[in-house]
Amino acid sequence: MLAGNSIGKEFTVTTFGESHGKVVGVVVDGCPAGLPLTEADFQEELDRRIPAEPKIVSARVEKDTAKILSGVFNGYTTGAPIALMVENKETKSSDYDAIKDLPRPAHSDYPAKIRYGGFNDYRGGGRFSGRVTVALIMAGVVAKKLLGRYNIDVLAYTKAIGPIKSTKAFTAAEIRKNRYTAATRCPDLACAEKMEEAIITAKAEGDSLGGVVECIALNMPAGVGEPLFDTLDGDLAKALFGVPAVKGIEFGVGFKAAELRGSENNDAFLVKGGKVLTASENAGGILGGLSTGMPIVIRVAIKPTPSIAKEQQTVNLSSMKNAQLAVKGRHDPCVVPKAVPAIEAAVAVTLVDHLIRSGEIPKILKEH
């Protein structure tokens, strides 16, 4: 069996399904009873996963519609496990017949074949496809509805694609207003246009691009986390690495902290409006594995899509000889835009899990 499909201790998310299987779904266990929830709540977020600009995404466009199978009665969560699913309808599995023995460089094809003895579903990457993030996004919808009751907001957006980077500092209002206006999910609309051009150029050359997604969480209370081995940043990183193509994560100034002196890196404390704040945000809202009450700031590095039309060196696992591979079929020249709602969801479900564990979110909700 494929182990490692669940995350969380109080708010547990278990995903299932493969890229070309019948469905992709998730079971959310531990959601407090009394949360208003309908199938319509999921549609906007599912629609956001695929940008409307066909030039920068795969030709496979699933018109996902979430179905609630359990855990909701009369429009409210019951406290029982919430099972959710969407169907896979736009599959074209024949695209993978010719390359089933030719592992794609930088893809999980080879280690997955070894780990599961060749029984893994290789079509579209199977369980290792970005398609499975749909399940995480559905769990994120539930989590964000919970967070919204406590004025906690999670916002992700594209910070960079390839060499094109936005250096602007955005307000939360600007992120909300502009990020989904652009196909690349960057709130800096002038930069977003350059990002789109870079993706189109890479695609025309049979290549692909990666990038950086930044995610912020606002209004988190201080003191949330479980040191030493269930720290808030550690669990956030674990959830984020569950999003395919993620290769690096940093909080606050991240690796730049290694270059600074303590006097430069330390966030000075101050009292403002009766609250303890910091004068800067180098720590990214987490110290010692605990939230500080300041915005949590995370940057996630996404690698270029491995499936490219440009010819690459690989091996034929049947003949055990060297081979060449040029991947045909429907693939994203850049998965960063699709990763934005998945990154947001991963952060949201982790925050909810820790907030329930800390007692900040009760296990039975009452209507406001």
pLDDT in tens, 22-73: 999 999 999 999 999 999 999 999 999 988 888 998 877 788 999 999 999 9
In total, how many domains does the chain have? Answer: 1
Neighbour-count burial of 169, counting CB atoms closer than 10 A to its CB (0-12 exposed, 13-18 middle, 19+ buried): exposed
Classify residue 205: in a domain, yes or no: yes
The three-class DSSP label of residue 242 is coil
Q: How confident is the model at residue 326 (pLDDT cuts 50, 70, 90)?
A: very high
In tens, the pLDDT along 81-100 reads 999 999 998 777 777 888 99
- Where are the alpha helices (H) located in the chain, listed in sequence order? 43-48, 109-115, 133-148, 172-178, 189-204, 232-240, 262-265, 336-357
Cα gap 87→94, rounded to integer Å? 19
pLDDT(362) > 50: yes
Q: Is residue 290 part of a domain?
A: yes
In a domain, 362, yes or no: no
Find the CATH number of the domain harbouring 90.
3.60.150.10
Asked whether residue 245 is assigned to any structural domain, the reply reads yes
- The pLDDT tens digits of the residues spanning 212-222 come to 999 999 999 99
| 8 Å CB contact between 11 and 349 | yes
| Predicted pLDDT of residue 61 | 79
Tell whether the model's pLDDT for residue 2 goes beyond 70: no
pLDDT value at 1 more than 60: no
Question: Does 221 reside within a domain?
Answer: yes
**Residue 243 pLDDT > 90:** yes
pLDDT at 262 over 60: yes
For tokens 């209507």, name the residue. Answer: 367
Domain of 241 in residue numbering reads as 6-357
Answer whether residue 364 is part of any domain: no
> Quick one: what percent of the chain has pLDDT higher than 90?
87
pLDDT at residue 367, rounded to an integer: 60
Q: Within 10 A of 345 (CB to CB), how many other CB atoms are there?
A: 30
Q: Indicate whether 320 belongs to any domain.
A: yes
Q: What is the pLDDT of residues 293-325, one digit of tens each?
A: 999 999 999 999 999 999 999 999 999 999 999
pLDDT-based confidence at residue 368 (cuts at 50, 70, 90): very low
Give the H/E segment covering residue 75: none
Q: Residue 195 in 3-state DSSP?
A: helix
- pLDDT, position 52: 84
Please state, rounded to an integer, the average pLDDT across all residues of the chain.
95
pLDDT at position 98, please?
Answer: 85
Can you point out the beta strands (E) in 231-359? 246-251, 269-272, 275-278, 286-287, 290-291, 296-302, 312-316, 321-325
The answer to whether residue 180 sits within a structural domain is: yes
Smallest CA-to-CA distance from 161 within 307, 338, 296 is with: 338
Phi and psi, residue 136, nearest 5°? -65, -40
